Structure 1
Amino acid sequence: MRAGLIRDLAVALVSLGVLLALPALFPQPALRDFLIYFFAYGLLAMSLNLLVGLTGLVSFGHAAYFASGAYAFGLLMQSGRVSVPLAALAAIGGTALLALVIGAICVRLKEIYFAFITLAFQMFIHSIIVTWVSLTGGDQGLRGGIPRPPFLGIDLNDARVLYGACAVLFVLCVLAMRQVSQSPFGYTLRMIRDNPARANFLGVNVAAAKLGIFVFAGAMASVGGLILALFVSGAYPEFAFWTTSGEAIFMIMLGGTKLFLGPLVGTLLLQTLNHYVTIYTEYHGLVLGTVILLIVLGLRRGIADTLYDTLRQRRAPRPAASPPPASSPAVAATADDLAKGRTV
Structure 2
Amino acid sequence: MDGRAMREGRALGKGSSSKRAVFDLHCDTLDRLALHGSSAYPAFAPQDEAVPHARMSSLADNDAHISLDRIERYAWCQCFAVFVPDGLSGDAAWRFFEHVRAYFAAQMLEQADRIEQVLDAREVGSVLAAGKSAALLTVEGGAFFDGKSFERVDGIAEAGVKMLTLTWNGENAVGSGHDTECGLKPYGRRVVAALEDRGIVVDVSHLNDRGFSDLCDVATRPFAASHSNARAVCEHRRNLADAQIRAIAEAKGIIGLNYCNQFLSATSADPTHDDVLRHIDRIAEVGGEDVLALGSDYDGCDVPSWLASADRVSGLYALVAAHFGSAVADKLFFENANRFFARNEER
Same fold (TM over 0.5): no
Higher relative contact order, structure no. (Cα contacts within 8 Å, ≥ 6 residues apart): 1
Structure with more helix by fraction: 1
Question: Which structure's CA Rg is the greater one?
Answer: 1
More strand by proportion, 1 or 2? 2
